[in-house]
Structure 1
Amino acid sequence: MCGLLGMVTSHSDAASFVDAINKALPCMRHRGPDEAGAWHDDTAVFGFNRLSIIDLEHSHQPLRWGPEGQPHRYAMTFNGEIYNYIELREQLEEAGYSFYTEGDGEPIIVGFHHWGADVVRHLRGMFGIAIWDTYERTLFLARDQFGIKPLYYATTGAGTVFASEKKCILEMAQSIGLGLELDRRAIEHYVDLQYVPEPESLHEEIRRLESGCTATVTPGGEVKQERYFRPQFPAQPVPKGTEQELFDRIAKALEDSVEKHMRADVTVGSFLSGGIDSTAIATLAKRHNDNLLTFTTGFEREGYSEVDVAAESAAAIGAEHIVKIVSPEEYAEAIPKIMWYLDDPVADPSLVPLYFVAQEARKHVKVVLSGEGADELFGGYTIYKEPLSLAPFEKIPAPLRRSLGKLSKMMPEGVKGKSLLDRGSMTMEERYYGNARSFNFEQMQRVIPWAKREWDHREVTAPIYEQSRHMDPVARMQHLDLFTWMRGDILVKADKINMAHSLELRVPFLDKEVFRVAEAIPYDLKISHGTTKYALRKAMEQIVPPHVLHRKKLGFPVPMRNWLAGDELFGWAQDQINASNTEEIFDKKAVLEMLKEHRAGVSDHSRRLWTVLSFMVWHGIFVEHRIDPGIEDRDYPVYL
């Protein structure tokens, strides 16, 4: 695990950028506080920050390797963990290759020599990879299939720079001639979705290598991206009476994944909420660690905590349990730090409790397991039931459906049936764009008057929907979430917020072998018997404690609606809006009116307000340099 930063120069003048790399590296020291350094030849310069997890005394980066007759041909930095590295090593040794470390990085670089870009198809893990071939003068970049680990890049006349965190590239902007203009299209996408969708970032000239993609770069050339992972969801009906065979395959795949994810030379713990996902992971992890520690967080406000249920689960599986309770004051104080660590804003209130539970966990362990990905793979969101409830509308001719939509708009808010008519009048492509739906277009225009309808969520979702026409309706929603909500929100916060505390988070559900089984589950075994994730629940019947088996998922619920209306956060929010220099982006008067309406109970604007407030804090740090995020380790750059 580490943070990587590097550059391939256009003019074979890598030595002149070594100082800039070394200056920018500390921006992400939190990703790897155990070791740091840089390497360069005449064209490429690689830097790294290492968090030592496997092969602690060796496996230093940048890692050099070469076959017989080509010593040190390759230089590699990578961020992540490869869980099948032992099996890969054995396979490559049988092919005649020699290894010099015991870590999980060397099989990548040897595999790259053996298989070329197809090495990513052999990797079981999470990764952002950069390999420089000193013979071919070519840079190879890659990200894991789900996008668990990030990889940013930017190309200027000086060359192509790449990094695990965008702030490192921003720190190098002047030395490489990089413009720092904001991307207004990406801003609208963010306001629409509450996250910045890949491959965008909020800076025009900085992009992200997409999940499930590789790229090649030559000196002075462009970044040529190629997708290697395309979900198919080839679900087939399960013959009656054979369902248990499917449930057994799910249980076996998940148990094997957890076993592989426990591989480490340091202590591994587990996050634990009140739902089936994290409980399944923790229960299976306990089989491999008798002294398993579990961690959860909550709030003092009643109804916004899963602490009691998580504690009951921990007791049932015999794990020692540690709890962190977050106050409103702690919540507000942490927001600038969190926005700094995120690089781009994510308007998900659960970021804050995650920040505190990760901080607590890092006092005890260096690695934690978590349950992210189960909902997207196994059909866990309640909204996935929508295609079933709206199925009758599919039989109505399109013109009549549009008329029903017009009728719904004439009905007053709160009238029974209005929402059903509205949703039923639209196609799936029109109505569903993921779990984060803060603003419709009219609401967006109220706060950003320059918004363009052609830039709304459909610009992001249309190409993804086009790829899923052969799938059943539930699979199409899952497919969309894999490429939007999961990699834009869920995995960004999982990576950035845990790495803020030098804590490695592992996600056993997002394993290629687990996905292979989950992808083939028919929709009637995902949404069935009045519940979600039906097949997963059946697979876990003999594994998780009974009290969580059919419990509704809450995750880390946050009382944001109440806090923004009450004394806890109303004053803080008002101050942020007034102080923000974002008049060219937001109609601040309209935002203040929304805040007052929310306080008065006229309308629940909590999600919309949080989306705007998160951006304003981010803007105050990265653009205005007005807000000090309060990073304790002050010997590295805070303002960019």
Structure 2
Amino acid sequence: MCGLLALVCAPETPVTDDLIDAVAGASHLMRHRGPDEPGTWSDGRAVLGFNRLSIIDIAHSHQPLRWGPPESPDRYTLVFNGEIYNYLELRALLARDHDVTFATEGDGETIVAGYHHWGPDVLTRLRGMFAFTIWDTVTGELFCARDPFGIKPLFVATGPGGTVLGSEKKCLMALADRLGIDTDIDVRAVQHYTVLQYVPEPETLNVGVRRLESGSYARIRPGGRPEITRYFRPRFSAVPFRPDDEQARYDEITAVLEDSVAKHMRADVTVGAFLSGGIDSTAIAALAIRHNPRLITFTTGFEREGFSEIDVAVATAEAIGARHITKVVSPAEFVEALPEIVWYLDEPVADPALVPLFFVAREARKHVKVVLSGEGADELFGGYTIYREPLSLKAFDYLPPKVRRSVGKMSKPLPEGMRGKSLLHRGSLTLEERYYGNARSFSDDQLRTVLPHFRPDWTHVDVTAPIYAESAGWDPVARMQHLDLFTWLRGDILVKADKMTMANSLELRVPFLDSEVFAVASRLPLEQKITRTTTKYALRRALEPVVPPHVLHRAKLGFPVPIRHWLRAGELLDWANHMINTSQAGHLIDLAGVRRMLDEHRTGEIDHSRRLWTVLIFMLWHAIFVEGTVVPTISEPSYPVQL
């Protein structure tokens, strides 16, 4: 796990010592991603920078990594962020079929050798999380790629001076003036963020900076723009269960998860696990302890009753035999850490759960260098409660479209909060109209009160329509899962997981988001994912021998955060007032409208907590990265190279 930076200069841009120093300086901004070893390399056409967090083959596998075939031993230069969990198997295959010899014991060489012999097809063989760039000194071309699910980030920006790619946007922004990159605020992306609570790929809040999307690769030549190709298109293709093979299908789920966890445990350093009160993280920890009996698990919570899963996590750790460490976060700590957290994020993400994740990652890094976590299980196995909505609205499917619309009109005059109003409204809409992913907090009317630039044609449809088009004909739950893979998962879940752990020089691995696990999960029929009484039905059945009974059917909570209460009194209310009073983002956010929302929330008139959090985090982002009025204190704890 590391931080990479790669610059392909335009033909007119001279690669001077000053430019190389500038790339090294920009790379230093993400030293938290790899404090063990920095590195910079150039051949006069490209400049590659790197910060290494050594996990495998610590004494070797330095980057930028040079590799080539016998006739051209230094042809390629690699910078690589991530882990390839089947690298041992791929090394053996390359040695057998192509007589490849390796100078290191790491996974980086496997990527480059695989690319040389298989071309872009190497991506379909890699089992892991990755963002990497390979500079080919013979062809003068940069090849870059991201893993299928978007676990690891890769930002891209092109200007007259060249194209730059990096693990963090702040590094690209540091080179923007030199390369002529447009850093103006993208007001359309601001509206998308406000609707969705994150900035959807490939957008960022700066016009000239984009993201290479998950499951894609690009080729870049000096003076040209990236030529992007999608190599992974997830498909949910249900295979019905037969009565005589039901248990075999559950056993298949257990086996593929056990294999994934075993491969995710590969490291030359200590591996721990995050543990909440839910089935996903518990399953990962319970399988991991089979490979490391001294496994340490970590959880976090708050002092306020109902906003902590510590007691459940402690009981779970005891049941599986793990040593457990907890971190309780106070309101004062929460508020004090916000500027630092948003600086690490690069782009605003309005998910309060990233704050406790930041703290538990900081605590975990005192003990381990790698943690496993349960992200991705909900999207693959049908874990969100909202996935049950198509069952509750099924009766509306039998109504003619005009009748459905009439039902929706009938619901409008009904008083807010009246039983049945929401059901009638949602039932009148198609799936594409009502489901944006796991994120919507503002209605269009509410958006008008906080966005001076509101455009009714800049909606969630910009983001969701192309994704829905790829799932036409699937069952509604599969379509919702597919949408979340491209929206909520990679826009929120994986961003906060990457940024909050990397902020603390901690590698997070997600065994559910594995190509072999997806292959099994994608074949589950609807009734094995969602029933009227539960979610993740097949996964729960498969994990009966693995997960303690007190967790098996427990409702999902994650890391709940009491912002609803804290925004009514105390430190968070004081912070919110200060942000509104001092913000210079009034041309992008209607500060008077936000003030009204805060007053209504404070008095208990309306619960605006998630909407307030969305705009307040944007204001903080703007204060840090645009105004410069908030300067975070970036703590740099000193960790040993190997744990």
Compute the TM-score of the two structures, normalised by the length of structure 2: 0.98
**d(CA) in 1 for partners of 2:366, 2:144:** 33
Deviation at 1:551, TM superposition (A): 0.2
**d(CA) in 2 for partners of 1:327, 1:580:** 25
* 1:4-153 equivalence runs, <5 A: 4-11=4-11, 13-15=14-16, 17-95=19-97, 96-153=99-156
Choose 400-409 or 613-622, whichever is displaced more: 400-409
Q: Secondary structure at the match of 2:567?
A: helix
Deviation at 1:470, TM superposition (A): 2.6
| Matched letter for residue 510 of structure 1 | L
CA deviations 1:81-138 (Å, max 9, x no partner) are 0000000000000021111100011000000001001111010000001001111111
1:2 is the counterpart of 2:2: yes
Tell me if the contact between 2:199 and 2:349 (Cα under 8 Å) persists in the aligned partners: yes
Tell me if the contact between 1:247 and 1:538 (Cα under 8 Å) persists in the aligned partners: yes
Deviation at 1:456, TM superposition (A): 1.0
* 1:306-321 equivalence runs, <5 A: 306-321=309-324
Deviation at 1:408, TM superposition (A): 1.1
Tell me if the contact between 1:300 and 1:325 (Cα under 8 Å) persists in the aligned partners: yes
Tell me if the contact between 1:259 and 1:285 (Cα under 8 Å) persists in the aligned partners: yes
**d(CA) in 1 for partners of 2:387, 2:244:** 25
**d(CA) in 1 for partners of 2:205, 2:376:** 25
From 490, 499, 504, give the equivalent of 2:502: 499
Tell me if the contact between 1:15 and 1:41 (Cα under 8 Å) persists in the aligned partners: no
1:413 is the counterpart of 2:412: no
Choose 521-530 or 180-189, whichever is displaced more: 521-530
Deviation at 1:15, TM superposition (A): 3.4
**d(CA) in 2 for partners of 1:37, 1:78:** 12
Deviation at 1:43, TM superposition (A): 0.8
Q: Secondary structure at the match of 2:90?
A: helix
The equivalent residue for 2:574 is 571
Q: Secondary structure at the match of 1:334?
A: helix
Which segments of 5 or more consecutive residues in structure 2 lack a partner in the other structure? 638-643
The equivalent residue for 1:339 is 342
Tell me if the contact between 1:83 and 1:125 (Cα under 8 Å) persists in the aligned partners: yes
Deviation at 1:23, TM superposition (A): 1.1
From 442, 446, 457, give the equivalent of 1:443: 446
**d(CA) in 1 for partners of 2:111, 2:233:** 22
The equivalent residue for 1:637 is none
| Matched letter for residue 514 of structure 1 | V
**d(CA) in 1 for partners of 2:587, 2:453:** 9
1:161 is the counterpart of 2:168: no
The equivalent residue for 1:213 is 216
Tell me if the contact between 2:256 and 2:517 (Cα under 8 Å) persists in the aligned partners: yes
* 1:252-291 equivalence runs, <5 A: 252-291=255-294
Q: Secondary structure at the match of 1:542?
A: coil
From 613, 616, 619, give the equivalent of 2:619: 616
Q: Secondary structure at the match of 1:242?
A: helix
From 547, 550, 553, give the equivalent of 1:550: 553
CA deviations 1:229-285 (Å, max 9, x no partner) are 111111021112321111100000000000000000000000000000000000000
Tell me if the contact between 2:159 and 2:182 (Cα under 8 Å) persists in the aligned partners: no
Deviation at 1:14, TM superposition (A): 2.7
* 1:376-415 equivalence runs, <5 A: 376-415=379-418
- How many residues are treated as equivalent by the alignment? 635
Q: 1:7 to 1:471 in 2, by over 3 A?
A: same
1:197 is the counterpart of 2:206: no
**d(CA) in 2 for partners of 1:316, 1:61:** 42
Tell me if the contact between 1:8 and 1:14 (Cα under 8 Å) persists in the aligned partners: no
RMSD over aligned Cα atoms: 1.1
Deviation at 1:339, TM superposition (A): 0.5
**d(CA) in 2 for partners of 1:291, 1:342:** 32
Tell me if the contact between 1:180 and 1:203 (Cα under 8 Å) persists in the aligned partners: yes
Deviation at 1:633, TM superposition (A): 4.5
From 319, 327, 332, give the equivalent of 2:330: 327
| Matched letter for residue 31 of structure 1 | R
Deviation at 1:22, TM superposition (A): 1.1
**d(CA) in 1 for partners of 2:446, 2:269:** 49
Deviation at 1:13, TM superposition (A): 2.5
Tell me if the contact between 1:59 and 1:102 (Cα under 8 Å) persists in the aligned partners: yes
Tell me if the contact between 2:388 and 2:531 (Cα under 8 Å) persists in the aligned partners: no
Q: Secondary structure at the match of 1:455?
A: coil
Tell me if the contact between 1:3 and 1:48 (Cα under 8 Å) persists in the aligned partners: yes
Tell me if the contact between 1:15 and 1:45 (Cα under 8 Å) persists in the aligned partners: no
The equivalent residue for 1:598 is 601
**d(CA) in 1 for partners of 2:417, 2:125:** 53
From 426, 432, 436, give the equivalent of 1:433: 436
The equivalent residue for 2:641 is none
Tell me if the contact between 2:66 and 2:77 (Cα under 8 Å) persists in the aligned partners: yes
Choose 69-78 or 4-13, whichever is displaced more: 4-13
The equivalent residue for 1:638 is none
Deviation at 1:54, TM superposition (A): 0.1
CA deviations 1:175-217 (Å, max 9, x no partner) are 2122220000100000000000000000000000000000000
Deviation at 1:409, TM superposition (A): 1.3
From 229, 249, 254, give the equivalent of 1:251: 254
| Matched letter for residue 622 of structure 1 | F
**d(CA) in 2 for partners of 1:573, 1:126:** 37
Tell me if the contact between 2:278 and 2:554 (Cα under 8 Å) persists in the aligned partners: yes
**d(CA) in 2 for partners of 1:244, 1:529:** 21
CA deviations 1:553-597 (Å, max 9, x no partner) are 100000111111122411111111111101101110110010000
| Matched letter for residue 321 of structure 2 | G
Q: Secondary structure at the match of 1:14?
A: coil
Deviation at 1:601, TM superposition (A): 1.0
Q: Secondary structure at the match of 1:584?
A: coil
**d(CA) in 2 for partners of 1:387, 1:499:** 38
**d(CA) in 2 for partners of 1:398, 1:470:** 18
**d(CA) in 1 for partners of 2:33, 2:571:** 32
Q: 1:529 to 1:183 in 2, by over 3 A?
A: closer
4+ residue runs of structure 1 moved beyond 3 angstroms?
none
1:519 is the counterpart of 2:533: no
| Matched letter for residue 309 of structure 1 | V
Deviation at 1:529, TM superposition (A): 5.9
Q: Secondary structure at the match of 2:29?
A: helix
| Matched letter for residue 16 of structure 2 | A
Tell me if the contact between 2:200 and 2:487 (Cα under 8 Å) persists in the aligned partners: yes
Question: How many percent of aligned residue pairs carry the same amino acid?
Answer: 63
